[in-house]
Amino acid sequence: MDTSVYFENISKEIAKRLDDATYEIVIAIAWFTDANLFNILRRKASHGIHVKLLYLDDKINKGASFNVRQLEAFKANVFPISPEMQSTNIMHNKFCVIDGRHIVTGSYNWTNRAKSNDENITVFLDNPEIGVHFLKAFDGLLEKYNYQKSVNVSPNAVIPRLEVIKNFVLLDEWDEARKQLEKLRSFEELWDLSRLFVSVDQKLSDEATAWIAAFVRDKMSLVVHEDEDIKELKIELRILEFKVVALSAEKDGLEKKIFEFQQKTNLILGELTAEYLRIKSEKKQKEADRVQAQPDKKEKLQSEAKQARAEYERYHEDFAEQKRKPTPLELSDDDKKELKKVFKNATQYCHPDKVSDEQKELANERFIKLKMAYDTNDLVAVRGIYEDLVKNRPYTENSEQLSTGALLKYEINKLETTSNKLLDEIESLNASIVALGIGAISDWDEYFESQRKSLVTAIEELKMELLNAE
């Protein structure tokens, strides 16, 4: 599983995920005018990918350069929602489920205008558990807008065979699983079993077992009954948990980028910068000493010399402090990518915002160790912590253990506040990266070599000016 948050090039990221679809794309989107995304859907549908699209049939979408209904020519299922079909609240969902296990959701509508807005999306990869919940939400929307009738027949008629199928799947007995599944064909008019058929056909054990587990949990009477509102709140909390941890990892990554830039600046340019400021200070002082007979001019030059000396001393002190900090290990570009990915995945297991109050202290200790290893580019340590977390699963997520609506709503509100705070912090960090010019640097080695040469030249020129001032 991998969860990432995107703030830029969102349309391109969505396009990439759509291009990766192998058998199904399910979309609920309010506004859809992005012709590039539509063309990808049309191409995927023409290649046999099953597309389902629920959208608003309103003035905005009718003004698009394409007609969504063209997808129907390729056997796609298109579900327009006209103004007459809605109550006072419009359908404003924005999510897409790809192959039952990859999810794109967030504030971004699939429009040309949204490309220039401040929006974000969260992408869940290889997460069939979350995928099942979004697919269930999609089915709920179809039912709400009368595209799908609710089923009143008891699902107890199929539970024994589903359990048998699940066991065969876990044993990798795919032929036997398929034989049992064929016996459920008659129930396809009651429930959409297409995803289960595809999962078995393609031997996707995670998707098949997740689908069966969700079906049993949501529809069967053999599990302890749980109020529907509680289940929905748990889903909302779980999605928020993933998002907050992904935002936290994004923030950590930006902070790390700024820190590494500052560290490299000090390592390569620090001594030269200090030397430049020292000579500049001496030059200013000599210029002030030369105008003894001109009090007004001397006072101005003496003030400038004092400021230059203070600037040098302040930089020298900061430079000495920076040198005492540990220098991150040098990594190849591939190792840097792996470090970021493993760190993000590890945070999903031990982030303090996901666990119960009783476990927060222990989780925080583990998280601090993880972040220290990440900040110093210790890929071996980050891998070790991640592997240990996967094997031992030491923490219980709040979404798994809370069982009352009040507690779930409290945690949801708390995480929403945390999410908004993280978004503000990320915006501020991105502004700092722009101000430092980091984002415009394509090759750090080339950049710092150019800066080093410029500083050497500036120092030589300043030395000549200092000699002339004597």
| Sole residue written with tokens 């995304």 | 37
| pLDDT number for residue 91 | 67
DSSP calls for 9-51: SHHHHHHHHHHT-SSEEEEEES-B--HHHHHHHHHHHHTT-EE
**Residue environment code for 277-303, b if the CB has 16+ CB neighbours within 10 A, otherwise e:** bbbbbbbbbbbbeeeeeeeeebeebbe
List the one residue out of 426, 428, 121 whose CA is nearest residue 252. Answer: 426
Dist. CA 396–CA 351, nearest whole Å: 11
Give the C-alpha distances (Å, rounded to integers) separating 180 from 82, 186, 211: 41, 12, 16
Give the C-alpha distances (Å, rounded to integers) separating 203 from 22, 175, 207, 213: 13, 10, 9, 17
List the one residue out of 385, 343, 348 whose CA is nearest residue 126. Answer: 348
Q: What pLDDT, in 10s, does the model give residues 340-380?
A: 999 998 998 889 988 888 888 888 999 999 999 999 999 99
| pLDDT number for residue 211 | 83
Determine contact, residues 448/438, Cβ cutoff 8 Å: no
| pLDDT number for residue 137 | 84
Order of strands, sheet of 50-56, starting from the edge strand that comes earlier in the sequence = 2-6, 121-125, 102-106, 94-98, 24-29, 50-56, 77-81
| pLDDT number for residue 35 | 95
List the one residue out of 69, 134, 77 whose CA is nearest residue 102. Answer: 134
**Which ranges of the chain have pLDDT less than 50?**
221-226
Within 220-294, residue ranges assigned H as helices are: 228-289
Strand partners, 293: none
- Given CA atoms 322, 327, 328, 333 in this order, what sign does their dihedral have? positive
Phi, psi at 22, each rounded to 5° = -110, -25
User: Considering the entire predicted model, what is its pTM?
Assistant: 0.74
| Sole residue written with tokens 């056909």 | 201
Q: Average pLDDT of the chain?
A: 87
| DSSP run (H or E) holding 364 | helix 360-375
| pLDDT number for residue 458 | 93
| Sole residue written with tokens 């010019």 | 437
Dist. CA 273–CA 463, nearest whole Å: 14
- Token code pair at residue 270: 């620090």
| pLDDT number for residue 17 | 96
Give the other-Cβ count within 10 Å of 163's Cβ. 14
